[in-house]
Structure 1
């Protein structure tokens, strides 16, 4: 919460056609960002209403699938970078619908003992994650609102798997463009940062309208009646979300430009800013406002 071989004209089997495990309380008439993102990634865990919104997004931003894919690829590179820095535990906030290349798949491929906790409030994302992770003792999902850090951090399953006395990898990938200014994104991040051990790494990506303002305005319009309206931010505001962290080179850049892999073709599409920061030994504490 980006396409991998799926054209916009192709019919994608939605979750309602697979069904069986979809929670009865889910309203399949209301689109969600997690399921629209799943559609853009070429996934099959979305409703007809999500696909309709996704098609609207693609109508106004034809690069929507490429932008989503570039964000997903950044997440994989960030996780591998963290593993290379000795990180063995991860907290993925706003994790969305599980699909190929999830954090636990990337991390545990390198280190089978890596531990991962996902957090999302979308019922479909949580239900499918529970099914996917049922046999994985080192990964779990917590249903909670990432904008309420104290609730997230108090979750028993999170505390069972993660040791906050040791560095961990905190991921907020493609999630804060769903958080309005009134909710004070910087204060939310600061609250999580306070609980991180020095040496922890923080990865964030964020959609922007800097490169295609008219097209991205159309994306905002397409999402405005969903459960998750969007709030794109310019470069300076995205960079400010890393306050309190030391940025890893090359800093905050377009997602494809962050630690590109040698020999891997990178589409130069713009639309997502991304970066990774490290918590230093001393950080001035702040409180939620």
Structure 2
């Protein structure tokens, strides 16, 4: 766990933070007592929360590895959470050591952590971005120093879209991102769904009240509408553990209990 007596300057240790809660669920060390308390309450409501976080993280890894194998060399992780072991820059480098990765987030807590963790890592940057307007990152001067928007770019919206309350606004944000990217680019996304257990939504909302973030679980049909400007590659929209699973990895008994739908879309 993170040292409660030390944290990067500007980090609030008393307010639970969704990025650090996710880090705790993944078994990371960049979290504090307030984050762990909320995470444990979430586990009481959704016992599979740790498994869901692991499968979400594993999906992002498989998607990035797939795209790097397809020749993509530029990645922008929007709403990055905390760049931890096995995150986008490390996975991309396994396949393509020359890959460039930009992390973009609107949460100052995440940015403080990200810049500290990425210090000295070549071909990476962490920039401020409003996840409600993901296309704005394409105009950021620091981003343009690293990313060539004449070449394909993979944008990762990991657990971002369900923080946009209005589904029409979420769909508009994805359309604007689609328009800002060159042909051959891709969107990697995950989105919380309430389909497996609609009645749990209220309890989960209560758990996350102390945090600075609130999310909306949506149905499969609603999520398809939101990402509809991109053409989904096989196997389309599916639970995280079912998207191109690694044969040697143990299968998840109940994929729907990840409560997360995911996919990779292509911009023609």
Q: TM-score range by the shorter chain?
A: over 0.9
Q: Which stretch of structure 1 is more off in the superposition, 110-119 or 149-158?
A: 149-158
Would you say the 8 A contact 1:146–1:152 is kept in 2? no
- Aligned pairs (5 A) from 1:60-139: 60-139=45-124
Q: Which residue of 2 aligns with 1:173?
A: 158
**1:225 correspondence with 2:213:** no
Q: Which residue of 2 aligns with 1:142?
A: 127
**1:23 correspondence with 2:9:** yes
Q: TM-score, normalised by structure 2?
A: 0.93
Q: Which residue of 1 aligns with 2:41?
A: 56
Q: TM-score, normalised by structure 1?
A: 0.87
How far residue 79 of structure 1 moved from its aligned partner, in angstroms, is: 0.2
Superposition RMSD in Å: 1.6
- Cα distance in 2 for partners of 1:85, 1:218 equals 41
* Equivalent residue in structure 2 for 1:187, among 172, 185, 192: 172
Which digits, 9 at most, give the CA deviation of each residue in 1:62-110, with x for residues without a partner? 1000011111110000001101211000011101012111100000111
- Cα distance in 1 for partners of 2:236, 2:207 equals 31
Q: Which residue of 2 aligns with 1:277?
A: 265
CA 1:229 to 1:133, structure 2 compared with 1: closer, same or farther past 3 Å?
Answer: same
Would you say the 8 A contact 1:14–1:48 is kept in 2? no
The secondary structure found in structure 2 opposite 1:30 is coil
How far residue 226 of structure 1 moved from its aligned partner, in angstroms, is: 1.4
How far residue 182 of structure 1 moved from its aligned partner, in angstroms, is: 7.1
Structure 1: give runs of 5+ residues left out of the alignment.
1-12, 281-289
CA 1:183 to 1:129, structure 2 compared with 1: closer, same or farther past 3 Å?
Answer: farther
Which digits, 9 at most, give the CA deviation of each residue in 1:3-43, with x for residues without a partner? xxxxxxxxxx23534x25x223x332221211111111111
Would you say the 8 A contact 1:61–1:218 is kept in 2? no
